[in-house]
Structure 1
Amino acid sequence: MTDWLGPEEWQALRLSLKVSFWAMLASLPLGLLAAYALSRWRFPGRQLLNLLIHLPLVLPPVVTGYLLLLTLGARAPLGEFLGQFGITFAFRWTGAALAAGIMGFPLMVRAIRLSLDAVDPKLEEAASTLGARPLSRFVTVTLPLIAPGILAGAVLSFAKAMGEFGATITFVSNIPGSTQTLPSAIYAFLQVPGGEASALRLVALSVLIAMGALLLSELLAQRVAKRVAGK
């Protein structure tokens, strides 16, 4: 692949993989908690939480990036506060991971929530009657049953992060070697004469990654469906 891709293209791919991996990994605990809350808990503001989680799906990505810039930019109150502790997101790869994670978060939560909704409550009730505490019941009964859904959500989140452009470029700009991911690199190559070949190679690579992620997610979803059907 290093022979097929040029140095700038390889750099963009490597950064995209890094950003997408950390975006997915950092989102996973919160995604699991949010999905569990929406599936199992009844509390005031539940629908509002559901709305906020899924809002990035319908908002223009540029709006999400701009809101992040207003909140965590170098001159924003929260951004300045975190900067005192050496935590900076704006115009850094960590900011790209944050933006990508937010954009992929709804897909992750939805996949995990569907898996949780498919778990037969009687199985958890049986564990309770045997004396299992809530945490033990979740770890030994619920978690193994929803594992395919968690993996599917993680894959979808990773794929969404790989393709994220609007929120990322608005929040962290398009800095080669620092914040230039695959979509940003494609955009940059299309702006310069003779860059069409590089852009086309990255487009082909993006399509392959997206198709692979969708296929893996579908296989995991089928596994969940078979488990629910008792096959």
Structure 2
Amino acid sequence: YFYYLDRIKKLFTYLNDLRKHVLKKYVYTINHKRIAINYLYFSMVTGLSGAALATMIRLELAHPGSPFFKGDSLRYLQVVTAHGLIMVFFVVVPILFGGFANFLIPYHVGSKDVAYPRLNSIGFWIQPCGYILLAKIGFLRPQFWRYYDKTSFSFPFLEKMKYNQYKEYKNDYLFYLDFLKKEITDDHSFFWKARKVIKLPQYSVFSFVPLKLMMWKTMINY
């Protein structure tokens, strides 16, 4: 009896230590390299879901009336819309601007980390929240291949979808603002002045791209 009780106690101790290690290494981290790895892991998970939706679309095109949609055209358009949103905003953007940018730009400017590490971490955790919101409301009916007010019906879920997209834009804007501040103020690099002249304009343009997208989206909808 005491042998099994001791084994159970050791098991719970191991699980508790593992939980603390995982939380400290992946959840509470503010290191730019670890955050970049988190972006890549997140993109792998969302990429699998996007690939599953793409497979459903191809099977429907190959054999119309497949069991996935059962001849429901609205359901098919829902899957097409969700697939596009996932692959663009939750796979391509996190890999390029979250993973590779987080990992390479601090080395490129000769810095140990980004200017605001905690802001960088918050920017990552906005992504899973947006993905959960998309998974929650992305398959509500009716939904068409584009959900603009002027080309689709007006339902409460459309406002939620737009809020979800605005959340993604805000994440990108905070991300680029962090690197823009680092490029302006960091003087650890030997070639800082030359890099400031050469690289600052393109970082400035990219920093305001998400804000311009939000303004353009608002103009189209309203």
| TM superposition score category, shorter chain reference | 0.3 to 0.5
For normalisation by structure 2, the TM-score amounts to 0.34
Using CA pairs below 8 Å that are at least 6 residues apart, which structure has the higher relative contact order? Answer: 1
For normalisation by structure 1, the TM-score amounts to 0.33
